[in-house]
A and B are shown apart, each in its own frame.
Chain A
């Protein structure tokens, strides 16, 4: 199930958000060794203070399988404020029709027993991200990621395209990429991962979800 949670107003999903911050600490600090701030076993940065929209995939026990964070590119975001060295200043993206996805994390321990677990969970999360964005009138999602992510994304049926040359930042070969929210893209992800029907927990969201791009 996919939950959409407003960072500053998690309501009854506060437990899910807390588990997401713990997952992020496990993934980005413990496993990948990124230069991130962890306190009390939770990873958070300044962008979490800006009331982002979290897209979170949970199992039936409300465990967090995977999550990501969405920020509007019209406001402060990672490519403009943290990774601006990847692009020329006039290439910085400021558009109401472009969202930025960041902090993509998957709990690989929870997936251990699932066949194609990583690809399926990744596919569902990306599909939710793109369908959400499309319903809101957004055409593109950009992201800054480790080039090693590209293989995982492709396997899930979602090719991001590079917007710049990869650069080594710290220990990570980093690149900015782009994905379109068009129905053709989500159809491909759905087909590849055998997803059908609504993948959202809140049916209210689906009532206003345009199907056509």
Chain B
């Protein structure tokens, strides 16, 4: 994983306000070279304001305001379709659009929303729901490759970002477990000793894939994107 990306992820840890979150999305979009990123949280508890949805996005401000003022969540086909599933939705796989949805997309394009989209649903442990969207105007052939190369990172980013927003709202999700298990600590310890996955598997009498699984879980818990970053962070927070 490159350094620029690690820096972006580290910046994600510094989100203390909606403004920070917005700024973070802009940095992340620039990192991937995509036109827009958009986060939409539902059932995110907001005691003081009873808003049904919580939006942070790099879309034009006029578009976001228009969307909200006109209740476009009623005709936006991406929302219901992506919420239906547990897997990311490529906008190209939307069912045939009704006239209202065609007009909606027309208006969205006028406000800078691009044609390719990947909307990742996130389901939290406490009934919290969110959709994280990647939006670009790459031609179809390039989009397919781009999506395949980056989808795994997007899944993690979407999940981390959601947890950050939940924390901002003063709501810690049960999904937010940061304590490493004994197995995970073992893996990171041997990794810090310079051992490869294969070597750790031999030492501990496990399979390679089980070692990869524990390391990946440790990475998710500590919100890291590489083994090296994860080891460094585990040491820094005193978990090793």
Binding site for B on A (CB under 8 A): 6, 8-9, 50-53, 70-72, 74-76, 80, 88, 90-99, 132, 135-140, 161, 163, 178, 180, 182, 204-205, 207-208, 210, 212
Contacts and interface: CB of A to CB of B under 8 A. Distances in A.
For the complex of A and B, the 10 pairs showing the least CB-CB separation, nearest first, are A75-B123, A137-B151, A210-B148, A96-B155, A136-B87, A96-B159, A90-B181, A137-B152, A95-B220, A94-B175
B1 interface: no
Residue of B122, B175, B210, B213 ringed by the most chain A CB atoms within 10 A: B213
Contacts of B123: 50, 72, 74-75
Contacts of A90: 177, 179-181
| Chain B interface size range | 35 or more
15 contacts: A51-B86, A90-B177, A95-B159, A95-B216, A95-B217, A96-B220, A97-B156, A136-B87, A139-B213, A161-B207, A161-B209, A161-B210, A178-B213, A207-B93, A208-B93
Contact of A74 (B85, B124, B148, B207): B124
Contacts of B181: 88, 90-91
A188 to B, nearest CB: 13
B155 A97 contact: yes
Nearest to B144: A208
B105 interface: no
Given A74-B123, A76-B125, A208 B154 contact: no
Interface in B138-182: 144, 147-148, 151-152, 154-156, 158-159, 175, 177, 179-182
B93 A204 contact: yes
B90 interface: yes
Interface of B: 84-88, 90, 92-93, 120, 122-125, 144, 147-148, 151-152, 154-156, 158-159, 175, 177, 179-183, 207, 209-210, 212-213, 216-217, 220-221
Nearest to B207: A161
B90 A208 contact: yes
A97 B120 CA distance: 12
A140 B124 contact: no
Given A51-B84, A204-B93, A212-B148, A94 B177 contact: yes
A91 B88 CA distance: 26
Nearest to A77: B125
A210 B156 CA distance: 18
B84 A6 contact: yes
B125 A74 contact: yes
Contact of A96 (B158, B182, B207): B158
A74 B221 CA distance: 12
B230 to A, nearest CB: 13
